[in-house]
Amino acid sequence: MVKKKNFKSIAISTSSSEKNIPIIAKQLIEVLSNKEIEILLDKNLSLETNKKYKSYSEKTIIQRADLVIAIGGDGTMLNASRRYGSKGIPILGINLGKLGFLTDIAPEELTSSIIKVIENDYIEDKRFFLEAAVSNKKESFLALNEVVVHSGAIAQLIEYNLFVNDEFVYRQKADGIIISSPTGSTAYSLSGGGPIIHPNLDVLILMPMFPQTLSSSPLIVSAESSIRIELLDKTNKKHLSFDSHNSISLNGEAEVLVSKAKSELTLIHPKDHNFYESCRNKLGWSSSPIKE
């Protein structure tokens, strides 16, 4: 059994403009300071505090923090996961958003939940990132939820060939294609009719977006697969998006390569965290089994 980490230096991060963030952050600072935890404030966190608590650069937080607490919604968690989680720092989320599949501590439970985490009463949840590269660009890009190839325009199709492990799957005209991790199966992929995948499964979802065919369905493949999307239309511009946030333009007949990244994310949850309970609460599933 792997010994749980004692968190001695904790960073507080946000990328949200939610008005309640300063209140929650100050409450969090009070809890952590009472437990003699070193507190590192992310420079993105606009907060009036005394000089004891300073803002630090991303580089310094990566060097010193052994836990990052993200305040906001899933967008904040995605941002913190790419910036810090991909560097091996565990992430814990306080939910100020609407759904919050990744941020599962409610503000009213903050004090009790954080104390439990500090006292090693928590569970670790491992997730993998997606890595995307483009044939005519040198850099690669990380995503936790999904990578999307799309036209970037309203009611405009793109044409592409899809390959899995260099084996041809199909040629398709569609608004685009979503390559989703299990983590992303409750995000953009779900809104397009994709399946919900338990986060412990090691698979990828290949989800066409409004395909020009009556027979197209989502395809689930091993996460160890190499996905290649060969874009065929020279004239229209295409776009590559990551976690519905960052986007780059694709020109000409580019190829997009997507695979499971080497880096891994560690999410920290309260010990009573349950994936199916999250689905019930956030997706409006039946709240209790029917008894005869």
> Residues 6 or more apart from 255 whose CB is under 8 A from it?
134, 135, 228, 229, 230, 231
Q: Is the pLDDT of residue 146 over 80?
A: yes
Taking residues 196-202, what's their average pLDDT? Answer: 97
pLDDT for res 1: 40
Lowest-confidence region among 57-66, 95-104, 235-244: 95-104
What pLDDT shows up at residue 152?
81
34: left (phi over 0), alpha (psi -120 to 50) or beta: alpha
The model scores a pTM over 0.85: yes
Query: What confidence tens digit (pLDDT) does each residue in 116-134 have?
Result: 999 999 999 999 999 999 9
Average pLDDT of the segment spanning 212-225: 93
106-115, 118-127, 244-253, 274-283: the lowest-pLDDT one: 244-253
74 counts as catalytic: yes
Q: Work out the pLDDT band at 226, boundaries 50, 70, 90.
A: very high
Give pLDDT, residue 99: 76
The pLDDT tens digits of the residues spanning 32-79 come to 999 999 999 998 886 665 567 889 999 999 999 999 999 998 899 999
Q: Which of 42, 74, 104, 175 is catalytic?
A: 74
Domains along the sequence of the chain with CATH: 9-120 (3.40.50.10330), 130-262 (2.60.200.30)
- Residue with structure tokens 């993200």? 70
Q: What is the pLDDT of residue 292?
A: 54
> At 142, is the secondary structure helix, strand, or coil?
strand
C-alpha span between 176 and 159 (Å, rounded)? 8
CA distance 188 to 32: 35
50 alpha carbon, distance to own chain's centre:
33
Could you read off the pLDDT of 147-177 as tens digits, one per residue?
999 988 777 899 999 999 999 999 999 999 9
- 106-140 core/surface letters (b: 16 or more CB in 10 A; e: else): eeeebeebbeebbeeebeebebbbbbbebeeeeee
pLDDT value of position 5: 77
